[in-house]
Structure 1
């Protein structure tokens, strides 16, 4: 168990529908991290960009990218998290994988597929919320559009870190900024969002705005928008404990049952 968690947020451009090039790009960025970190966070669909051409980029859980992630996690002795297109039984998923240094993998399939882009027509939505127990930290990993749905993210598990990986376009980035901060405040947890930068193959622009918020909604990073960067942030258990005990807001949360 660790009282602190050191995380690396990789805000990067992505090569459109090119897993080989994206693995090369991210391999260099991961290798460039010289600080000892516990967790490296990559964007949503980090092998391809946010594409609806699933058949062109889909891999399996035994594919090249998963094998590469296992190798990098072991080499760097850190967990690595991000999402990619996975095919299982002729069904496509926008799947987040949390790869531990041991090679153990926890997976989460995106619950809220982005209907505006037709994601629901290509990818099957997940049905299970996942809590990762890593180094004594309880982490709730979610994907992009999930950010707009606070009930799904509600902290009923007493998690410590709410984590979003995303391809969130510049045109709606004000919502991204507001909702990340809100999720931190309402759940009294750290909230971290990692977004990409650059243009995708559909000419959508992404401006980053990756960020880390503490339980009071204060930013604890120095990430600059529109730039490729790797930011190291340290999260502290004592910060969570102090303000949860002092304010007790989670004790007053509404009780509810979530329907499928």
Structure 2
């Protein structure tokens, strides 16, 4: 199986300003010259982490969603990140995954951050998503999901890469760094964490620390306190050899295996 190129976009986010954010990310994505298979944007990249869903939510056919699909098609690359979505009269912190052929997949955030009242505004998701890309299996999560190892458990090598998109504040940056490492080590997979930088509309500062970590817990990339776009190559042979030489995955507790996992 060939290696996988993943590009992380660590960016500031204009507070509750969808048009400015789409324009900014449009330029950032167009600036990517390296060969890549997947571009990862932060959580709520069109608004920042806002509870103002009534004003900011967009439906699945909205122009901002179409922008993501069109960008994927024009660059001929998978692109993912989360937005505020309204569907069936409910609001979701929804990760959208656009593929170049026009396919749009999604994952609704499972763990809602009660310290800001997210669970009072948004509806939680109940299903994992696993996306196949060039033979690799990738499972996306959103921010607070990172704290819950049962939900992110990689049972029987169900996925090769875990992707966490976030608006994780500076005050708990040590948790972000530590938990990303833990998820890579315990699940014997690559972990991609993409966070924002800058101060949001509630006064919380974000320092990024977007990271790429290999299955043994080695940090391949980490950047703090500045906008950046970085492309890394993930080696399938390294992943396969590590799982073979240290097959801890074979002894995982079966009690945490989940049946509500969709593979597409």
Look up the match of 1:133.
132
Look up the match of 1:212.
212
Look up the match of 1:104.
103
Secondary structure of the structure 1 residue equivalent to 2:254: coil
Q: Distance in 1 between matches of 2:148 and 2:173?
A: 16
Offset of 1:106 from its aligned partner?
Answer: 1.2
Structure 2, gaps ≥5 residues long: none
Q: Aligned in 2, Cα 1:8/1:124: closer, same or farther, shift over 3 Å? A: same
Look up the match of 2:2.
3
User: Which consecutive segments of 4 or more residues in structure 1 shift more than 4 A?
Assistant: 257-260
Offset of 1:157 from its aligned partner?
Answer: 5.2
User: Is the 8 Å Cα contact of residues 156 and 250 (structure 2) preserved in structure 1?
Assistant: no
Alignment of 1:35-50 (within 5 A): 35-50=34-49
TM-score (norm 1): 0.97
Alignment of 1:64-143 (within 5 A): 64-143=63-142
Offset of 1:135 from its aligned partner?
Answer: 1.4
Per-residue CA deviations over 1:57-103 (Å, capped at 9, x if unaligned) read 11011011111011111111100000000000110000001111111
Per-residue CA deviations over 1:41-67 (Å, capped at 9, x if unaligned) read 000000000000001111011011111
2:200 aligned with 1:200: yes
Structure 1, gaps ≥5 residues long: none
Look up the match of 1:224.
223
Offset of 1:259 from its aligned partner?
Answer: 10
Alignment of 1:122-201 (within 5 A): 122-156=121-155, 158=157, 159-201=159-201
Instruction: Provide the aligned length of Structure 1 versus Structure 2.
Output: 258
Offset of 1:256 from its aligned partner?
Answer: 1.0
User: Is the 8 Å Cα contact of residues 17 and 56 (structure 1) preserved in structure 2?
Assistant: no
Relative to total residues, which structure has the larger strand share, 1 or 2?
2
User: Is the 8 Å Cα contact of residues 46 and 82 (structure 1) preserved in structure 2?
Assistant: yes
Look up the match of 1:60.
59
Q: Kindly report the root-mean-square deviation, in angstroms, between the aligned alpha carbons of the 2 structures.
A: 1.2
User: Is the 8 Å Cα contact of residues 6 and 232 (structure 2) preserved in structure 1?
Assistant: yes
Q: Distance in 2 between matches of 1:157 and 1:58?
A: 37
Secondary structure of the structure 2 residue equivalent to 1:220: strand
